[in-house]
Structure 1
Amino acid sequence: MYIKDVMACLEELSPLAYAEDFDNTGLLVGNRDNKLTGVLVTHDTLEEVVDEAIEKDCNLIVSFHPIIFSGLKKLNGSSYVERTVIKAIRHGIAIYAVHTALDNNFNGVNAALCDALGLQNRKILIPQKGTVKKLLVFVPNKDADHLREALFAAGAGTIGNYSNCSFNLEGTGTFRGEENSNPVIGERGITRHEPETQIGVTYPRHLESRILKTMFTNHPYEEVAYEVTTLENRNQHIGIGMTGELTVPLQDIDFLKQLKQKMKLECIRYSGLLNRKIKKVAVLGGSGAFAISHAKNAGADVFITGDIKYHEFYKAEKQMIIADIGHYESEQYTKNLLFEHLTKKIHNFAPALPGGKVVLSEYNTNSIKYL
């Protein structure tokens, strides 16, 4: 196995195309073409985690948070970031980070939080814009079925819970091959009128290169007439934060007590009780203050996140409870999610190949302690 094989497995779970623009995801350190000795999965990449990777003979660290967030202008070991990167390079250890690419996945960070709380009827809280693309392509009628099926097989034509979706119009296409053309149908210098089908399909943004390659490969023409546009349609499966519902509503104080117990929390900072039952819950792993208004607009009874500042608690406006359970605590199940995904994928991909081991880091990288 090679490092790039693990990267392909991670792309299936959290395509980097959906990472936020401010983020730094993907392969941060190392060579994707290096042979793999093992994968260590962690929440954060620190010096101690690199030491653990060395001890366990893992030359790839898969981390939720990126150790390099903004640009490094020097590498002299004067900060924990520089020391971590230097040690990883010195020992030939690659570092890959998923961060907001996994945050924005329907089965990612917030799904793990919903699982822990037993939430049902889940929906994305803030759908990411520009994730749905549309392809229009014109093809001779006799080749339309073949091309359409090839596009479906490549991942086009899926809308929500439906697959093989397309819209088709028949008409007449005209073209004339010039001196250097090599027309499949018709002759150079003669205008051709060809019965054609316009095929329209949508596809997720991260599959664009695959969809276009499939189109060119399966289209009979030397020059393919097509259009690609970005749609503003709401995507049900890509975006940050999530809402869900309790199967049995709980009084707010009882819900907070259960939250503390289920998430194994030292404390909860919250905006005050409203003396009513909790049914709809909004969650956002990590720093979620920016989503308070979205949670209120979604009709949440409580919004669970981390890193809420003093004045931001007032934004609850007595319409819901804001519960700050801590940044790390709200993401604590993320490395387990990554570990389980990679264990399953790598075992199916290469159960007997050298390097096919996945190890869950034993180091607690939470930088905040409680007394």
Structure 2
Amino acid sequence: MIIQDVINHLEDFAPLAYAEDFDNVGLLVGNKNAKLSGILVTLDTLESVVDEAIENNCNLIVSFHPIIFKGLKKITGKTYVERVVLKAVKHDIAIYAIHTALDNSFKGVNDVICNKLELINKKVLIPQPQTIKKLTTFVPQAEAEQLRNAIFKVGAGNIGNYSNCSFNVEGTGTYKGNEYSNPTKGLKGTAHSEKETQITITYAKHLESQVLKTLFNTHSYEEVAYEITTLENKNQHIGIGMVGELKEPMSEIDFLTYLKSKMNTSNIRHSVLLGKPIKKVAVLGGSGSFAIEKAKAAGADVFITADLKYHDFFSAENNIILADIGHYESEQFTKNLLVAHLTKKITNFAVVLSKIDTNPVKYF
């Protein structure tokens, strides 16, 4: 295997197309065509993590957070970021970051938190807009089934629990090729009518290049007529944060105790308790203050996130409990998720779970 093979598995799981615009995801250091010796999975890439990769003969580090976030103008070893990059390059170790691509995956960071808390009826808290595309094309009637099936095969036509979804209308297409044309139906310079099927299929935006490649490779026409539209429909399988429900309501104190135990944290900063049972729970791993209003609008009794500032807690306004469990604590199980996924996909190479605690925040 080469490093690109691992990247393909990661991006099937969490396509980079859904990472936030501010983020820096993907292969940050190294050669994608290098032969793979082993994979180390971590939450953060520190010098000690690179040393751990060297010790375990892993030449690919899969990191949740990107070690390079802002542009590097110099690489002299002055900062910890520069030292990580220098050491990784010196030892031919590639670094791949997945970050908000995994945040926005339905089976990603926030699903892990929901599963730890054993929540049911899970939904995305903030669906990402403009993630659904629609292809409309026109094909000779005799070729319609072949084209539909080819496009379905690359993942288009999935709506919720249904696959192979399309809409088809039969009609007549007309065209006239010029002297440079090479029509597969009719003759150049002669007006031609063809019984055609108009096919409409929706697809997730990260599939666009595959859908168009399949369309052009399968369609018989020299010039393929097609249209692509971006839909405003909400996609309940792509977006950040999640909301779910406890199987049975809990008192606020019981829930906070439960939360500390399940998320392995000794410190929860929270807004004023409201004296109401907890049933509906919203979660957003990492810095989530921007989603407070969305959690309230979803009817959540509590919103679990991290990095809340003093004034953020006032935003609860006696409508919700805000619970800050810590940035690291909210994302700590993400590396286990990645190891489980890669181990299932790659059986002939070592996938090592980093043993290093990269949490920079300590409690006294």
Query: Residue 346 of structure 2: SS of its match in structure 1?
Result: helix
**Match of residue 364 from structure 1:** 357
1:291 aligns with 2:284: no
Write out aligned runs for 1:86-125 (5 A): 86-125=86-125
**Match of residue 329 from structure 1:** 329
Rounded Cα–Cα distance in structure 2 between residues aligned with 1:259 and 1:266: 10
Query: Residue 203 of structure 1: SS of its match in structure 2?
Result: strand
Write out aligned runs for 1:125-136 (5 A): 125-136=125-136
Query: Residue 253 of structure 1: SS of its match in structure 2?
Result: helix
Rounded Cα–Cα distance in structure 2 between residues aligned with 1:139 and 1:69: 46
Q: CA offsets per residue over residues 328-356 of structure 1, 9 Å max, x none? A: 00001100000100111011xxx3xxxx1
**Match of residue 216 from structure 1:** 216
Query: 1:177 Cα deviation (Å)?
Result: 1.1
1:171 aligns with 2:171: yes
Query: 1:130 Cα deviation (Å)?
Result: 1.1
Write out aligned runs for 1:134-283 (5 A): 134-283=134-283
1:319 aligns with 2:319: yes
Q: TM-score, normalised by structure 2?
A: 0.99
The one-letter code matched in structure 2 to 1:318 is N
Query: 1:320 Cα deviation (Å)?
Result: 0.6
Unpaired runs of 5+ residues, structure 2, are none
Q: TM-score, normalised by structure 1?
A: 0.97
The one-letter code matched in structure 1 to 2:306 is G
Query: Residue 84 of structure 1: SS of its match in structure 2?
Result: helix
The one-letter code matched in structure 2 to 1:145 is E
Query: 1:148 Cα deviation (Å)?
Result: 0.8
Query: Residue 4 of structure 1: SS of its match in structure 2?
Result: helix
Q: CA offsets per residue over residues 205-246 of structure 1, 9 Å max, x none? A: 111111111111111101100001111110010000000000
**Match of residue 47 from structure 1:** 47
Rounded Cα–Cα distance in structure 2 between residues aligned with 1:13 and 1:335: 14
Query: Residue 36 of structure 2: SS of its match in structure 1?
Result: coil
CA RMSD, 1 decimal? 0.6
Aligned residue pairs, count: 364
Rounded Cα–Cα distance in structure 1 between residues aligned with 2:9 and 2:157: 23
The one-letter code matched in structure 1 to 2:277 is K
**Match of residue 68 from structure 2:** 68
Could you tell me the percent identity over the aligned residues? 66
**Match of residue 3 from structure 1:** 3
Rounded Cα–Cα distance in structure 2 between residues aligned with 1:5 and 1:208: 20
The farther-off stretch of 256-265 and 40-49 is 256-265
**Match of residue 303 from structure 1:** 303
Rounded Cα–Cα distance in structure 1 between residues aligned with 2:56 and 2:155: 38
Rounded Cα–Cα distance in structure 2 between residues aligned with 1:242 and 1:135: 29
Query: 1:154 Cα deviation (Å)?
Result: 1.3
Query: 1:153 Cα deviation (Å)?
Result: 1.1
Q: CA offsets per residue over residues 166-200 of structure 1, 9 Å max, x none? A: 11111111001111111100001100011111100
Unpaired runs of 5+ residues, structure 1, are none
